[in-house]
């Protein structure tokens, strides 16, 4: 079973997450509507089972909730992937969202790194600060051990641009985490 459950409580957030890499439903509540929309898209397009309850200090802003959700989701991915044997390892996707085009390439390498290239024309969508997109993916990549490259090729609407990136990530992750039945895809023999 490629599943994981994480509970992380700090003075700023309290997050409970259940993840299945092999599908299932989604039940997501962070208190940040647009972020819930993006995480739902990630679950649907990545074919992930995702149950997430996050309570954070939204009276401050969405920063801690979004970043800590990235930490917890990254930890869950790492746990669910185990020793990473028998997976495709690499994935990539271009996803259009109306006028925007998002790209993701990733390696489930165990070597965390993020390259993020997107300039959002609107600073906020709903109660979500667009700059938190990069913070979310950084926290996720560092905690999951992903080498992650995300780029929005172009776009004029921040909502569309961010959604294209989340969906591109979902499709790339789905491909990279696909069970192939082989061993570890590395000339070193381990990841």
Please tell me the CATH superfamily of domain 3-176, with its number: Imidazole glycerol phosphate dehydratase; domain 1 (3.30.230.40)
> Does residue 135 have a pLDDT over 70?
yes
Q: Which DSSP helix (H) or strand (E) runs through 86?
A: none
Q: What's the rounded Cα separation, in Å, for the pair 108 and 180?
A: 14
Residue with tokens 């990136």: 165
Sign, Cα dihedral of 25, 145, 33, 150: negative
Domain ranges of the chain: 3-176
Q: What is the pTM of this model?
A: 0.95
pLDDT tens for 89-132 read 999 999 999 999 999 999 999 999 999 999 999 999 999 999 99
- SS3 track for 109-154: CCCCEEEEECCCCCCEECCEECCHHHHHHHHHHHHHCCEEEEEEEE
């Amino acid at each position: 079973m490629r599943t994981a459950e994480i509970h992380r409580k700090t003075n700023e957030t309290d997050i409970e997450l259940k993840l299945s890499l092999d599908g299932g439903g989604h039940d997501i509540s962070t208190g940040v509507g647009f972020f819930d929309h993006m995480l739902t898209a990630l679950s649907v397009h990545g074919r992930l089972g995702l149950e997430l309850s996050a309570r954070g200090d939204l009276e401050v802003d969405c920063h801690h909730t979004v970043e800590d959700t990235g930490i917890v989701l990254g930890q869950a991915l790492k746990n669910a992937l185990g020793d990473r044997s028998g997976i495709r390892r690499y994935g990539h996707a271009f996803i259009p969202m109306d006028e925007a085009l998002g790209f993701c390439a990733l390696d489930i390498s165990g070597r965390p790194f993020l390259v993020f290239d997107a300039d959002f024309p609107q600073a906020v969508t709903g109660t979500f600060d667009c700059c938190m997109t990069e913070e979310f993916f950084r926290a996720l990549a560092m905690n999951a051990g992903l080498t992650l490259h995300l780029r929005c090729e172009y776009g004029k609407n921040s909502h569309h641009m961010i959604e294209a990136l989340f969906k591109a990530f979902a499709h790339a992750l789905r491909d990279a985490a696909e069970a192939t039945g082989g061993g570890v895809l590395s000339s070193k023999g381990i990841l």
